[in-house]
Structure 1
Amino acid sequence: MRRGFNTIDKTIGQRRKLSEEHLDKLDRRVESRDLISQLPEYIIHHILSFLNDTKDAARTSILSRKWRQMWTSFSVLIFDQHKIQQQEGRQDIRNMKRAFTDFVDNSLKSHLERKLSIQKLVLHITRYDFELATHMEQWINIAIENNMKELDLHVVKKSKRYKLPPTIFASKTITGLRLHGCMLKSHCDIKLPKLQKLYLHKVCVDQQIIDNLISSCPLIEDLRFIHCTGLKVLRVSGLLKLDRVEVHHCHGLEEIEVKAPYLQTFWYCGKESMHCKIDLVAYFSLKRLTLEDGNMTDEMFQDRLASFPFLEKLDLSKCNKLKNITISSVWLRRLVLRGCKNLVEADIDAPNLFSFEFKGDRMPFSFSNPLSLKEAKFSFEPVHIRSYNHLGGEDALWFTRLRKLLEKLKHSNGLKLVVRSKKNVIIHENLEEILLPPQSDLKLEIIKPSMGLEDLLDNLLRTWHPEILSVVSSPSSEFPKLVHEKMMHRVENPNCCTYNTRNKCWRHFLKGVKIENIEAAAGKRTFGWIPWLKSSPTVLHQTTSYRLSWEPVERMLSKWRMMSMLNPTSVSSVI
């Protein structure tokens, strides 16, 4: 028996060694305060569906006797070829493929022997060939025969794509299809009366296929096309349940026409080289609109905005032909302007705006009303300021507008200004006295974290590890102390990201924190802006600085990958 299966057998054996007496004690200990076991079974299964693999689901068995029973009947089967073959160690390709097919065969057999249904089947295939295609068809057919509701099929193949078995399109139980790297034949007969969600990623389609889907799948609510090919015109109509449509970078697509009386979300992303006409008829129902359209003019945007008076969220990214626009709405709650590099003026009249995010190299927006934002993130990059005392031209205009913006935001309690440059970061606790250091790579963020200090540090340090972190606050403020405690009082081996080796948070990399004397550090490389701090004695007096040391990211990732291979912590399917 190969090592992967020995690992599974060992896990099962260890679980069985727990005596009934010990489990009874565990149950009695939590019985008096066990509220989660009172949840209905379908809710518990829904919670389990968010976990990455069976190992995580198995860990929930310690919660109570009911959860111990529930995870064994968990009906989401996840088979990731790469993960399973990685656990098998170094073998030739043929043996690795056989290990994967045997693993899936045995897992499906074990699941069906217990007479369990299949809620969802996930197949992530990284080494696809014609031999494996036969096994895949068998697995999918078994799942369909056992009333599978969702299929998530991801095939990594650069040349020929996987041809889907016709049984998929005759299922009376499937409600969700997520297909990646597959082939859909125009002539295939489609009858999916319960299909609600259809996601097509790197799938070759044409209008005939779409027409077949629409005519035979009347309950579709969520329709997404991502990097699909073969489609010149996308026409969608006649779907009364349709709630969401997304189209992302579909090469060759020239026209989109959507007629949906109850559509609430539309999302389009296209490159500037892709000219795509969009005709969207949603009968005033649309609430969320996201556009990344490099060919949308001011007039086109204003016409679209006028068509949807009840819009609550608007996201404009890389709309590089926009120059002068007006956004006026009493319903608008969230607004994002990101990377619209030629935007000169955006006049915003949205008195009920709750959240605003901006990213760009200038400040082309203005607000007609005082702001009471609950969430805000503004990133200005790069800001080329020669010196605080020698502002001129565009720099002076930019600085004046920033001042006006900060003035409007004073009444939005809790906003903090984050100033970044090279390896330095300064957090201004309030927006009263702000000075900008004379750096050419300056980045500013005005943030109000919805969950306070911890959320702020997570946002700031997750992908960027500064050498110096400074806090500017009033002498009576507790904020610098709280920042220091949050960074110092962390466990040596935090378990906050135990099950994710690739996306660890800052707590896993932070090696040390020391309070830094600013004036003593004046000659150090990281304090190029010391003259700026000294130019304002008030700011200098209110500044607390910390020197942070970090573990190298690549070294830590290599270490975790090696540990994962030597001691696998996940099983890729339900036993």
Structure 2
Amino acid sequence: MYTFSKFRLSMSLFDVEGVTSFLDKWIELAVANEVQELDFNVEANGVSRYSLPATIFSAKFVTTLKLSGCNLEQSSDTIRFHSLKKLALHRVHIGEQIVHKFISECPSLEDLILSRIGDFKRVCVSHAPKLKTVTIDEYFELESIEIVAPSLQQCTLAYIRKSCVIDMAGCPHLNSLKLRSVDIEILDLISKIPLLEKLIIQNCDEITEFEFSSNRLKDLQILRCYNMDGIVVDAPNLLSFSLECRDVPYCFSINGSSQCSCKLKFLIKLDTEGDILILTWFNIIKEEFLGVAHQVKELSMSINIMTPLDSFSLDEFRNRSPSLPREVENLIIDVWNMRNIPTSKYAALLDCLLWVCFPRILSIELKRSCFPLISIECLELTRRKHLFYLQFFYEMMINRDTKCCNSHIIKCWRHYLKDFKIDCFIPYKDPKPHHVDNLMAELPGLPRRNYLISSRLVFLFTY
């Protein structure tokens, strides 16, 4: 008899009843062959769903069990998952008692994922002495979550409503918490986790203010919480801070370690009074965000220009912010709707961006289009304008004139730039950098699909 370590089945069905016997047989073969990893995904397009046989409870050699899109309604007096370390249930119709029985009778369980598995009111995780990570995802109707796991280190909660009562007092070693799309009382929850070192708050639009003090917190990420008005953090041992926001918080203060590294991403939408707003944004980013950060590892600005820009200038920005630009490691610029920027203002846009900060690496993302439905003619026009912008930028760097602002005490970037080169480009959805001998020569001939290019520019500044 052949044995297999893994068995994975993923399929979409219209007629479940016609293939039930075959699916049952595959489960039986997997169990009989003592598979260690069983991944069973059966999506039914009709009304009925596939129900797993009781044989599944006898898979005593399985260490990883992933079930998706099926029913697990049959109960079993004996669950033989003695070796099970990871259990992932996604869109599985299952009763609360069976889930609780699963957890309590799997002594080796280390990783638990419960995602959209039914109309649960209560989740109770207990009798799991080795459990290290828990994910509870998309439970809109949950009334309570109780986790008693002495070895638990990481927990993720997603789509949890404010009415849900969360009790994690039985997790004394919990040090990492991720909250995504929840409207619970976050500060009340994290104040009861004394060893918390990593906190991720993502897509939590109900949260308007975040004020937190901790001597243990080392990693804080506040991502896409678009109604966040105030952020005040006192964490002297903080080593990493990430912020992604759309509106400027009225209050922003981060007290972290002197070694704290920051990643900042701003989504700047200019639909009215664009010229005034863009300079206001640049000034706030420079003075209020970069000014309080110790080390900025990455600064990203996604600028969505809805109205034409035609009057902003470096001199106006210089008057608003007369200080020397801040130094950052990597600056990423993504400019939408290039058609709203006249070519005569390309130099002013570059000057203003480099008055915000001096990057060691400058990455420019050129997107094919921000809109999925757009004519071929518009796509080609956008492509040509992107190419022109990049070529213009390249020539500005190569043929820079340092006679522009000799009368000013603090001069523009041209007077500080000592070296420049285009290092590589990165196609959309392809994280591997592509190095070429002459990007500017090869760029027009690159494939038009996935037209997102990142050009890296290496800067060396002296003061």
* 1:131 counterpart residue number: 18
Which residue of structure 2 aligns with residue 295 of structure 1? Answer: 183
Aligned to 2:195: 310
Q: Is the Cα contact below 8 Å between 2:264 and 2:299 reproduced in 1?
A: no
- Choose the corresponding residue for 1:405, options 278, 289, 292: 289
Match of 1:83 in 2: none
Question: Are residue 252 (structure 1) and residue 192 (structure 2) matched?
Answer: no
Richer in helix (by share): 1
- Matching of residue 363 in structure 1 with residue 248 in structure 2: yes
Question: Could you tell me which amino acid in structure 1 is paired with residue 48 of structure 2?
Answer: K
The one of 405, 427, 431 aligned to 2:326: 431
The residue that corresponds to 2:69 in the other structure is 181
Give the Cα–Cα distance (whole angstroms) in 2 for the partners of residues 292 and 185 of structure 1.
29
1:331 to 216, 221, 224: 216
Structure 1: gaps spanning 5 or more residues:
1-111, 424-429, 491-496, 516-545, 556-575
Structure 1's 171 and 419: CA in aligned 2 closer, same or farther, altered over 3 A? closer
Q: Relative to 1, partners in 2 of residues 1:480 and 1:549: Cα closer, same or farther, differing over 3 Å?
A: farther
Q: Structure 1 residue 224: deviation in Å?
A: 0.8
Counterparts of 1:362-401 in structure 2, within 5 Å, are 362-364=247-249, 365-369=252-256, 372-374=259-261, 376-382=263-269, 386=273, 390=276, 396=280, 399-400=283-284
- Superposed CA deviations along residues 19-49 of structure 1, whole A, max 9, x for unmatched, are xxxxxxxxxxxxxxxxxxxxxxxxxxxxxxx
> Offset at 1:213?
1.0
Give the secondary structure class of the aligned counterpart of 2:420.
Answer: helix
The residue identity in structure 1 corresponding to 2:449 is V
Pair 553,246 (structure 1): closer, same or farther in 2 beyond 3 Å:
same
Q: What SS does structure 2 have at the residue aligned with 1:480?
A: coil
CA shift digits 1:274-306 (9 cap, x unpaired)? 84332222443111111124422xxx3222122
CA RMSD of aligned residues (A): 4.5
> Matched residues in 2 for 1:250 and 1:126: separation?
24
Structure showing greater relative contact order (alpha-carbon pairs closer than 8 Å, 6 or more residues apart): 1
Q: After superposition, what is the alpha-carbon deviation per residue over 1:354-399, rounded to whole angstroms, capped at 9, x for unaligned?
A: 33222222232321357644351322332567366x569xx85984
Amino acid at match of 2:53: P
Q: How does 1:559-570 map to 2 (within 5 A)?
A: none
State how 1:474-493 maps to structure 2 within 5 Å.
Answer: 477=417, 480-481=420-421, 484-487=422-425
Cα pair distance change 1:402/1:385, threshold 3 Å: farther
In structure 1, the partner of 2:164 is 276
Partner of 2:236: 351
Query: Whole-Å Cα distance in 2 between the matches of residues 320 and 342 of structure 1?
Result: 5
Q: Which amino acid aligns with 2:157?
A: Y
- Match runs of 1:528-567 below 5 Å: 551-553=447-449
Instruction: Sort the Cα spacing of 1:505 and 1:303 in 2 relative to 1 into closer, same or farther, 3 A.
Output: closer
Per-residue CA shift, 1:251-272, capped at 9, x if unaligned? 4322211122221111111166
AA in 2 matched with 1:285: H
Segments ≥4 residues shifted beyond 6 Å = 436-442, 446-449, 461-465, 546-549
Contact 1:387 1:438 in 2 (8 A): no
Q: Sort the Cα spacing of 1:551 and 1:187 in 2 relative to 1 into closer, same or farther, 3 A.
A: same
Identify the residue that residue 514 of structure 1 maps to in structure 2: 440
Change (3 A) 1:505 1:369: closer
Q: Distance in 2 between matches of 1:399 and 1:183?
A: 56
Supply the AA of the counterpart residue of 1:431.
R
Supply the distance in 1 between the matched residues of 2:296 and 2:188 (Cα, whole angstroms): 36
Query: Does residue 266 of structure 1 match 2:155?
Result: yes
Please tell me whether the aligned partners of residues 86 and 112 of structure 2 are also in contact (alpha carbons under 8 angstroms). Answer: yes
Question: Is the CA contact (8 Å cut-off) linking 1:261 and 1:281 kept in structure 2?
Answer: no
Match of 2:373 in 1: none
**Cα–Cα, structure 1 residues 506 and 236, in superposed 2: closer, same or farther, change >3 Å?**
closer
In structure 2, runs of 5+ residues without a counterpart are 307-324, 342-348, 370-382, 398-412, 452-463
Q: Deviations over 1:287-329 (max 9, x none)?
A: 1111124422xxx322212211221211112323322321222
**Residue 121 in 1 paired to residue 4 in 2?**
no
Q: Secondary structure at the match of 2:178?
A: strand
Task: Give the Cα–Cα distance (whole angstroms) in 2 for the partners of residues 224 and 416 of structure 1.
Answer: 33
Contact 1:286 1:310 (C-alpha < 8 Å) held by counterparts? yes
Matched, 1:167 2:55: yes
SS in 2 for 1:552: coil
- Conserved in 2, the CA contact under 8 Å of 1:236 and 1:258? yes
Q: Choose 319-328 or 397-406, whichever is displaced more.
A: 397-406
Q: 1:208 aligns with which of 75, 97, 100?
A: 97
* Distance (whole Å) between structure 2 residues aligned to residue 361 and residue 126 of structure 1: 39
CA contact (8 A) 1:417 1:447 kept: no
Q: 1:141 & 1:262 partners in 2: Cα distance?
A: 34
Name the CA shift for 1:284/1:548 in 2 (closer, same or farther; >3 Å): farther
Q: What do the CA deviations read for 1:105-144 (whole angstroms, capped 9, x no partner)?
A: xxxxxxx5xx4x3111111112363333322222222222
Superposition pairs of residues 41-80 of structure 1, within 5 angstroms: none
Contact 2:268 2:304 in 1 (8 A): no
Letter in 2 for 1:322: I
Partner of 1:156: 43
Partner residue, 1:221: 110
Q: What is the count of residue pairs matched by the alignment?
A: 378
Distance 1:194-1:417 versus aligned 2 partners, 3 A rule: closer
**Residue 144 of structure 1 corresponds to which residue in structure 2?**
31
**What residue in structure 2 maps to residue 53 of structure 1?**
none
Partner Cα distance (1:218, 1:374) in 2: 40
Matching of residue 191 in structure 1 with residue 86 in structure 2: no
- Please state how far the C-alpha of 1:152 moved relative to its aligned partner: 0.4
Q: Distance in 1 between matches of 2:444 and 2:196?
A: 44
Whether the 8 Å contact between 1:263 and 1:285 is mirrored in structure 2 is yes
Q: What one-letter code is carried by the residue in structure 1 that aligns with 2:290?
A: L
Counterparts of 1:187 and 1:485, CA distance in 2: 60
Q: Which amino acid aligns with 1:355?
A: S
